[in-house]
Amino acid sequence: MAQHGFTNLERKVIARITEERWLDLTTEMVRAGQPRSVNPLDPDVPAGEEEPIALYVAGKLEAMGMEVEKYESLRHRPNVVGRLKGSG
């Protein structure tokens, strides 16, 4: 462990999280979850859809080289698990 309890890898990951990247990702996820809304941030639109958001996240994880599995305990409500294989 390094200073403040973070490993070198954790510090590298945290350093790549900028406000702009965070806002872009959040905006994309809100849009994915509200596909039939003109304004996805409008409080009067119906509740968001989980499946498009989960598929969006799965695509992002796959693009990063992860092995992705999706599990559905309820229809249209998948859970996404991404695994990045290590060297050991």
For the chain, domain boundaries: 3-83
Residues whose CB is less than 8 angstroms from the CB of residue 39 and which lie 6 or more positions away in sequence, other chains included: 45
pTM comes to 0.71
CB count in 10 Å sphere of residue 41: 10
Structure token digits, residue 16: 């790549």
**pLDDT value of position 57:** 94
Q: Could you give the CA distance from residue 38 to residue 54 in angstroms, rounded to a whole number?
A: 21
> Could you give the 3-state DSSP secondary structure of residue 79?
strand
- Residue 44, helix vs strand vs coil: coil
All residue ranges of the chain with pLDDT < 70 are 1-3, 36-48
